[in-house]
Chains A and B, each alone.
Chain A
Amino acid sequence: MSATTMPAAPARRRISGTGDRIFEWLCRGAGLLVLALLGAIILTLFIGGLPAFREFGVQFLWSAEWNPVEGRERYGALVPVLGTVVTAVLAILFAVPVAFGIAFTLTELAPEWLRRPLGTAVELLAAIPSIIFGMWGLFVLVPLIQHHIQLPFGETLGALPLVGVLFESNNFAGTSILAASLVLAIMILPFIAATMRDVFDQVPPVFKESAYGLGATRWEVMTGVVVPYTRVSVVGGVMLGLGRALGETMAVTFVIGNANRLATSLFDPTNTIASVVAMEFPESLMGSLKQSSLLALGFLLFVISFLVLALSRWLLRPRLK
């Protein structure tokens, strides 16, 4: 670790060796700063959340209470944690098939001249700030759900045994888990699609040509050659999308309804860790128990998304080289 990998040739004539040393330490110092940054983020969130952890103990993790009334303050993480996980997983379920279709189109189906503009369009979708997705979701998607999706779904699917309850709700505002996961799905779509396209492109052409030579159709080449070859990286790309969906704040805050309630239906409002922090942190009193509880939530979110992102990177590792 200590020495440079590129062995600095034994300097016969000292050509400002000090300059070299200073510059190398400058670069290494900046690298250490990045490491320290991550450590500091974890540490500040944990220390900030300590009073809440101490006050509520492990119960904090599975209590669904959120009571800011003075003297009877009780805070629990269950609702936001569940909301975060459920919306992110639903978003993945919505986004992955579409992302796969886009990646398949971009690598196999689209004519050469169309691939670049299509790819750029997908990447531009990724560049749009999250608050824009939030506004679009609130003013376009939410009314759509409210007027055209919730009623038919509630009437037809609500009658089903067991799963019917998922579609029945007495919340008719349109701001709901479904709205949040759809917006999230659109937001992470370009990230997953771009990763899939990149890994599909790395399949050696010989493999594909051999399969085509045997008379396989494009779909058979995809399922028989490309997907098995890239499976691990595809999962890594999906994990990357999941990591992004877990921590997305503004878009979700706009459309999820921000109610601290356990949702039983797709059309119920609830909240996520990020949205509850965005809604309540700026107006909470400095150093209050509420602020500490929100920091504790932030710590939980950091742990969850760190694990997912680390897993994603580990899975994508062979392709990144």
Chain B
Amino acid sequence: MSATAMHAAPARDEATARRLGRRRRLKDAAVRWLCLGATALGLVFLASILLTLLWRGLPSLDLLIFTRDFEPTTYGDDTLPRGGLRHAILGTLLQTAAATAIGTPIGLLVGTYLSEYARGSALGHAVRFVSDVLLSAPSILIGLFIYQLVVLPMGGFSGLAGILALAVIVIPVVVRTTEDMLSLIPNTLREAVVALGAPKWKMITLVAWRAALSGIVTGVLLAFARIAGETAPLLLTSFGNNILSGEVGKAMASLPIAIYQQANSGFPDLIAVAWTGALLVTLGVLLINIAARLLLRRKG
């Protein structure tokens, strides 16, 4: 851009010049400290959230959390059984895994289409644009969509509806990473395979996908982590359940919903369980994220 808008004119006398220089340096230093402060602030938020989770979630983190289902509040009576989160953990694992299994192939094909078939085509631009919008679209609207499409015709909340809602969220995440990773593969590799006489589809499935494998797996892991903590769409689709149930035709428990309901219950013992659930979700999500990053870095 048009050059530095600084006080460019050389100062007449040396004193003015020195003063100007000092002022510029002071301003620079002030801004530098402000920016470092901003970064520190960001880290403080991260640390505060993690420490709060540990502080309030660790006390009730024991085996009972994993072996028991929901129990109503004990009103401080220690003879009554304390509840756990087994139903919610298993419900979340089931729905998240099924949704990833449904969404990944679709996302993979779309990403392949964008990278291998649609470079520069109008349809490709449209698909890329829509996929990017879906990536940031409010997830609760996807819940409303599946509600209208699945819950209403079926006459009630169901695990199946939850799985479909989460699958819709998985697709754009996988699309983005698949396209990015496939576009990193050098064209010479593609040409070499085609020159050997292999049809294009074999080139893609046997060579391109394999070369991009670690990147694609990263995308799937990130998608898994993203939907494992999704709450809003599940509220309108699988709704949550207080008992352990593997029936996808009925309302199904999930960790985020269990956290939401118990955190707002007002009973200290249920809130403690909610914090433990929150700790588990966050640890799981962050560990998957770190694993995905390491996987990508090792492959370079």
Contact = CB atoms under 8 A, between A and B. Distances in A.
A132 B278 contact: yes
A140 B52 contact: yes
Interface stretch (A56-64, A115-123, A145-153, A161-169): A115-123
Interface in A299-319: 301-302, 305-306, 309-310, 313
A264 interface: no
Contacts of A71: none
Interface string A99-119: 111101110011000000010
B109 A26 contact: yes
Contacts of A138: 263
B231 A130 contact: yes
Contact of B278 (A8, A109, A135): A135
Interface string A25-65: 01111111111011011001101100000000000000000
A105 B39 contact: yes
A211 interface: yes
Nearest to B109: A30
Given A8-B200, A16-B199, A48-B148, A139 B141 contact: no
Interface string B11-29: 0000000000000110110
State the majority secondary structure of interface residues on A: helix
A41 B130 contact: no
Interface in A279-316: 281-282, 286-287, 294-295, 298, 301-302, 305-306, 309-310, 313
Given A109-B36, A130-B229, A282-B239, A41 B141 contact: yes
A128 B285 contact: yes
B256 interface: yes
Interface string A239-250: 010011011111
B83 to A, nearest CB: 18
Given A109-B35, A128-B282, A214-B4, A102 B263 contact: no
- Place the interface of chain A in its size category: 35 or more
Give the bracket for the number of chain B residues in contact with chain A: 35 or more
Contact of B1 (A30, A218, A224, A244): A224
Interface string A3-18: 0111011000001110
B67 interface: no
A19 B37 CA distance: 58
A139 B38 contact: no
A210 B231 CA distance: 50
B218 interface: no
Interface of B: 1, 3-6, 24-25, 27-28, 31-32, 34-39, 41-43, 45-46, 48-49, 52-53, 56, 106, 109-110, 112-114, 116-124, 126-127, 129-134, 136-142, 144-145, 147-149, 152, 168, 171-172, 175, 194, 197-202, 204-205, 225-226, 228-232, 235-236, 239, 256, 259-260, 263-264, 274-275, 278, 281-282, 285-286, 289-290, 293
Interface of A: 1, 4-6, 8-9, 15-17, 19-20, 22-24, 26-35, 37-38, 40-41, 44-45, 47-48, 97-102, 104-106, 109-110, 118, 120-125, 127-136, 138-140, 186, 189-190, 193, 211, 214, 216-220, 222-225, 228-229, 240, 243-244, 246-250, 254, 274, 277-278, 281-282, 286-287, 294-295, 298, 301-302, 305-306, 309-310, 313
Given A45-B148, A127-B225, 9 more contacts: A20-B201, A23-B201, A26-B109, A98-B42, A109-B32, A128-B229, A189-B45, A219-B32, A281-B235
